[in-house]
Structure 1
Amino acid sequence: MLGRTYERENCSAARALEVIGERWSLLILRNALYAGSTRFNQFQRSLGIASNILTTRLDWLVQSGLMESRSATDGTETREYVLTAKGLDLEPVILALSAWGDRWAAPDGPPIIYHHSDCGGQVHQYLKCDRCQQAPEPGYITAMPGPGMPVTA
């Protein structure tokens, strides 16, 4: 069984899970991206999350550099939690999880359909090869050592 951290894993997916692998974290990021949530009470109301858990998750997202906490723009003492560039870069992950959920966990069809704000077209997440531009079939992707893999003797 995996522990809370993955020090023994030399794997970017495992390292990413250390930061965002908890379900509330992804739902907070989703609501920041698509529901316009920026304030504690907005996240709490929309997610139905306990305040102590939400506090812990928001603090972690700020500490991890996915969100920043700043004074509210309306001049109140309220804090706003805003996605950073690092947090915005998780949008494809949320879209990919949503697409999988639409296919395998949404018996009545997709509950949300994502659209391009500029033209209104539907947005899809897909893989393609940078050499041949083809979309590989599932199971036809090979994992090979990259520059971050230590050389073993």
Structure 2
Amino acid sequence: MVTRKRFDDSDCPVARSVDAIGDWWSLLIVRDAFDGSRRFGEFQRSLGVAKNILSARLRALVAGGVLESVPASDGSAYREYVLTPKGKALFPVIVALRQWGEQHFYAPGEPHSRLVDSRKEQPLRMLEVRSADGRPLDPDDTTVHKVTTP
């Protein structure tokens, strides 16, 4: 079996973030948590993932502080998985992936799900990357600088 390379000590925030999330199943679990899934069975039905894979991903997301395992809200013996503040901070990532997918993987008029503002029932504005002074930025407008400690 091939050992997965770890990036938890990388100086690149993208590499550390990918290392923490793990894989595409984990992002889909986080997406489902934002959509209201809380129980193992809800995640399993939504994703159709094997139970052993789902168990491993949920354990990793709990260990990484993205989800928290809590007693079931109905008082039953079951456990539920809820997003932590660290997990909720992934919301812009999920929105960005959703918007990118809507833009690049659907033909005009092809049915798909859409995230809307629950108060106004309107689609969200496209996410933008902006400078500190508010200017829109694209990749050509940015440079990576290494942060060093004094």
Cα 1:137/1:54, change in 2 over 3 Å: same
- CA offset at residue 118 of structure 1? 2.8
Post-superposition, which runs of at least 4 consecutive aligned residues in structure 1 deviate over 4 A?
none
Q: How does 1:4-153 map to 2 (within 5 A)?
A: 4-6=5-7, 9-34=10-35, 36-108=36-108, 109=110, 111-123=112-124, 124-131=126-133, 133-146=134-147, 149=148
Q: CA deviation at 1:121?
A: 3.2
Q: How far has the Cα of 1:150 moved from its partner?
A: 5.8
Question: Residue 7 of structure 1: CA displacement?
Answer: 5.3
User: TM-score with structure 2 length normalisation?
Assistant: 0.87
| Preserved contact between residue 102 and residue 110 of structure 1 (Cα < 8 Å) | no
Change (3 A) 1:56 1:101: same
Deviation per CA, 1:111-142: give whole Å up to 9, x if none: 222222233332232111112x1111343222
Offset, 1:39: 0.2
Task: Deviation per CA, 1:6-62: give whole Å up to 9, x if none.
Answer: 25631111001111140000000000002x100000000010000000000001111
Structure 1 portions without partners, runs of 5+: none
| Separation in structure 1 between the aligned mates of residue 46 and residue 12 of structure 2, nearest angstrom | 33
Q: In 2, Cα distance between the equivalents of 1:102 and 1:70?
A: 34
- Return the offset for 1:3: 4.5
Task: Report the residue type matching 1:23 in the other structure.
Answer: W
8 Å Cα contact 2:69-2:81 kept in structure 1: yes
- More off after superposition, 113-122 vs 60-69: 113-122
CA shift in 2, pair 1:8/1:85, >3 Å = closer
Q: Over aligned residues, Cα RMSD in angstroms? A: 2.1
**Unpaired runs of at least 5, structure 2:** none
Which whole-Å CA distance do the structure 1 matches of 2:111 and 2:100 have between them?
10
Q: Secondary structure of the equivalent of 2:117?
A: coil
**Identical residues among aligned pairs (%):** 38
